[in-house]
Amino acid sequence: MTPRLVASQQKLRGTVKDRSQQEIPGKPPGGYEPNDTKRRLRWVEELTGRNLEGLPLPRVDELQGIIENHVGYMPLPMSIAAPLLIHGDYARGEFIVPLCTLEGTLTLSMNRGLLAMAMTGGCRTIHLKQELSRSPAFCLPTITEIDSFLDWINDHADSILAAAESTTRHGRLLRVDPTPIQQWVVLDFVYDTGNAAGQNMVTLATEAACRHIQQETGFHYYLESGFNSDKKPSRRTLMNGRGHSVTVEFSLNGQILDFLGVRPEAILDFQQLAMTSSQAIGMLGNNLHLANALTALYLATGQDAACVAENAVAFSQASPDGGDGLQFRMTLPSLTVGTVGGGTRLPAQRRNLELLGCGGGSHDSRKLAEIIAACAAALELSLLVAVVSGKFAEAHERYGRNKIQ
């Protein structure tokens, strides 16, 4: 009898043991031979009941709304990492994670992080919020009109909300945050977009609201001021969040740090350097390579990979735990992911969403956000350890070396 994934409390058979015993949990079979690939596929099927073979393609007409001028498909190599052991607000249990990447070492590196995480009992994630905004700007003739315009907006909250929500069944307008700059008033329309990533949803809803405001006030608007930095990296997104915001936390006790071959003092020492560097160069956040994890998971689950440009900003940090270990934490303020709409309805992408138990539940996008955040933290830890212990170049020499030097 094959175990099945259960959305709320998933359990992969035969992996992570009781915590006190500290056994190394099961990980996917390795190797670059065709038989190795088959073995991994069988391993996945045994543990989850899911068959990942073949390349399921949509009918051409199903691509409407996804791509125009279609000519075919680009096959991206796909791998798995496991076991993710997570205790989240929405994601709970053990998971096998599908990845698409062209970067050698990435999968192994994430897998090392996942093992370390699982060996100390898994990670805890909290889902801080989910908000997506569109931020039109109204253009007033002079600054004199700003006060009365803001009053008008406040006084007509009901009709503005009605106009916005008339265009969507699933989205909800949470609030409108005004920022007057010069003669413009930027109105940040903030939505709960449910399981959708929601970029189109908020565009259409906000357009309806703006038309209403323009009709009533006579003021011209641009549907997008740039204030929400859609698909663009910005300090505001790092600070305020956009999409899902998730924090991940897990322990690195002395035993695990030994297993990883690194001392806690060395990690803290490097971290001072890395935080100083990120300050000096004006990096957004201080993660080491969040983009790698996000891209690999986004491509595997039908997300818009262009969003990585705005999502790859995060806080990453190891802190003393009072004993001989560390607490590792990562706060990802911006994950604009969804489990319905867009590329998520393509069959291969949907198959992977189902592998993650995100194929149809009411909070699937939150669950997915937590899974992605946890995997990103695992990959972050793994590179951190590699850099601190001086194995970074060695790993890339072995697994990532191009023939071209």
Helix (H) or strand (E) holding 266: helix 264-280
- Selected from 52, 267, 381, 385, the binder of a second copy by CB under 8 A is 52
Catalytic residue among 103, 165, 177, 249: 103
CB of 18 to a second copy, least distance (A): 21
Q: Supply the minimum distance, in Å, between the C-beta of residue 290 and a second copy.
A: 8
Give the DSSP per-residue string, 125-191: EEEEEEEEEE--EEE-SSGGGHHHHHHHHHHTHHHHHHHHHTT-SS-EEEEEEEEEETTEEEEEEEE
| Residue in the block written with tokens 């641009």 | 222
Instruction: Please calculate the CA angle 242-246-248 and round it to the nearest 5 degrees.
Output: 150
Pick out residues in 353-382 that bind a second copy (CB under 8 A). none
- Contacting range for a second copy; rule: CB under 8 A; set: 16-24, 101-109, 113-121, 253-261: 101-109
Q: Closest separation between CB of residue 17 and a second copy, Å?
A: 21
In terms of CB distance, is 139 or 157 closer to a second copy? 139
CB of 192 to a second copy, least distance (A): 14
Of 21 and 67, which has the nearer Cβ to a second copy? 67
Cα–Cα dist 241/86, whole Å: 22
Nearer to a second copy, 21 or 112 (CB): 112
Which residues, numbered 285-304, are part of the site for a second copy (CB under 8 A)? 285-292, 294-296, 299-300, 302-304
Using CB under 8 A, pick the residue from 8, 9, 154, 279 that binds a second copy.
Answer: 279
Q: Is 191 in the site for a second copy (CB under 8 A)?
A: no
396 is catalytic: yes
273: contact with a second copy by CB under 8 A? yes
Give one DSSP letter per residue of 337-402, joined into a string: --SBSGGGGSHHHHHHHHHTT-SS-TTHHHHHHHHHHHHHHHHHHHHHHHHHTT-HHHHHHHHS--
Residue type, 263: R
Q: Which of 21, 142, 158, 215 binds a second copy (CB under 8 A)?
A: 142
Sign of the C-alpha dihedral, residues 191, 125, 345, 233? positive
Choosing from 45, 89, 165, 304, which is the catalytic residue? 304
**Can 231 be counted among the known catalytic residues?**
yes
**400: CB partners within 8 A, 6+ apart:** 103, 104, 105
3-class secondary structure, 256 = helix
24 binds a second copy (CB under 8 A): no
Q: Give min distance, CB of 190 to a second copy, in A.
A: 15
Map residues 215-234 to x or -, x wherever contact with a second copy holds by CB under 8 A.
-------xxxxxx-xxxxxx
Rule CB under 8 A: choose which of 47, 116, 190, 313 binds a second copy: 313
153 binds a second copy per the rule CB under 8 A: no
Residue with tokens 């072995």: 398
What's the token pair of residue 25?
A: 């949990």
Range in contact with a second copy (rule: CB under 8 A) among 15-23, 200-208, 252-260, 369-377: 200-208
Distances 183 to 139, 141, 160, 220, 334 between C-alpha atoms, Å:
6, 7, 22, 12, 30
Residue type, 200: N
397 binds a second copy (CB under 8 A): yes
- Taking CB under 8 A as the criterion, which residues in 1-20 touch a second copy? none
Catalytic site includes residue 103: yes
Q: From the list 15, 120, 130, 247, which residue makes contact with a second copy (rule: CB under 8 A)?
A: 247
Strands 243-252 and 172-181: unpaired
Q: How far apart are CA 352 and CA 96, in angstroms?
A: 10
Positive/negative CA dihedral, 165, 221, 182, 143: negative
Contact between 60 and a second copy (CB under 8 A)? yes
Answer for the pair 123, 249: CB distance below 8 angstroms, yes or no.
Answer: yes
- Which one among 15, 334, 352, 382 touches a second copy, defined by CB under 8 A? 352
Using the minimum distance from each CB to a second copy, give the nearer residue, 119 or 186: 186
Our answer to whether residue 156 is catalytic in this structure is: no
Q: Which two tokens stand for residue 162?
A: 């009605």
Pick between residue 130 and residue 349 the one whose CB is nearest to a second copy: 349
Number of chain residues interacting with a second copy (CB under 8 A): 170
Which residues have CB under 8 Å from 204's CB, separation 6+?
167, 168
Based on CB atoms, which residue is closest to a second copy, 21 or 201?
201
Closer CB to a second copy, residue 21 or residue 315? 315
Residues carrying an active site annotation: 103, 231, 304, 396
